[in-house]
Chains A and B, each alone.
Chain A
Amino acid sequence: DAEITQSPRHKITETGRQVTLACHQTWNHNNMFWYRQDLGHGLRLIHYSYGVQDTNKGEVSDGYSVSRSNTEDLPLTLESAASSQTSVYFCASSERDPSTDTQYFGPGTRLTVL
C-alpha cells in the first residue's frame, strides 16, 4: 500500500548538532510539507515543495532547510539544533494541485534537543 513514512520516530540530540529528519512517500504526490506541532500553537508550516527542485519557506523556517531531489523524499535539516526546536515534526503530502488537493500526514517524529 502507498504510504508516507518518517524516520526516526524519536530522536534526542544536543544543542548545536546538525539533525536530519526523513520523510518518504510512495503515493507519487507532487507536493510535500513539513510542520511542527507544539502545545498551544497547533501545526505550523516550516517548509514546503511543489515538485522536484522546488522549495519554499513557511511561517517558521528559520534554522531549518529542505531539499527535493526526487518525488518521494523531502528531508528536513536542522543546521544547528536549538532547545526551541524541541517539538513533534509532521511531514505531509498532497497529490498535485495545491489549491484543491487534501494533505495527508505521516506518523511524526518527536525531537528533543538537550
Chain B
Amino acid sequence: GQNIDQPTEMTATEGAIVQINCTYQTSGFNGLFWYQQHAGEAPTFLSYNVLDGLEEKGRFSSFLSRSKGYSYLLLKELQMKDSASYLCAVRDGDYKLSFGAGTTVTVRA
C-alpha cells in the first residue's frame, strides 16, 4: 500500500514562515501535489512537483526530493486566511492519487 506521512497540526504567528513536511513511500511515482482545504470546503490545488527542486508560487513554495521520498510546502508571510488544512498527495505508478491525512495550520495574530 501507499504510505504518506505529514504532521497533524502546526501553529504559527501572522507574518511568520511555516514549513510542512511530507514523506512518502509509494509503488511508483508520477508527481506530488499540495492542496489547501479550508474547514467545510473542497480541497483546492496549490502546487505540483514532478522533478527534484523548488517550485515557487508567490508566498507558497514546494520542494521535492524523489530520492529521499520527501517534500515540503513553505508558506511565507503568513496571513490569517492561511489557517487551513494542507494535504500532501502522491500520484503513484497507476496514476492514482494517494493522500496524507493532512496538516492543520493555525495562524495566530
Interface band, chain B: 20 to 34
Measured CA separation A48–B92 after assembly (Å) = 15
Shortest CB–CB separation between residue B36 and chain A, in angstroms? Answer: 11
Report how far A90 CA is from B44 CA in the complex, Å.
12
Q: Identify which of A42, A103, A105 contacts B101 (C-beta below 8 A).
A: A42
Total number of A-B contacts with CB less than 8 angstroms?
45
With A99-B30, A102-B48 as given contacts, are A42 and B42 in contact (CB-CB < 8 Å)?
no
Pairs across A and B, CB under 8 Å, 21 listed: A33-B97, A42-B4, A42-B99, A42-B102, A43-B43, A45-B96, A45-B98, A48-B96, A58-B96, A90-B42, A99-B95, A100-B31, A102-B33, A102-B45, A102-B48, A103-B33, A103-B97, A105-B44, A106-B42, A107-B42, A108-B42
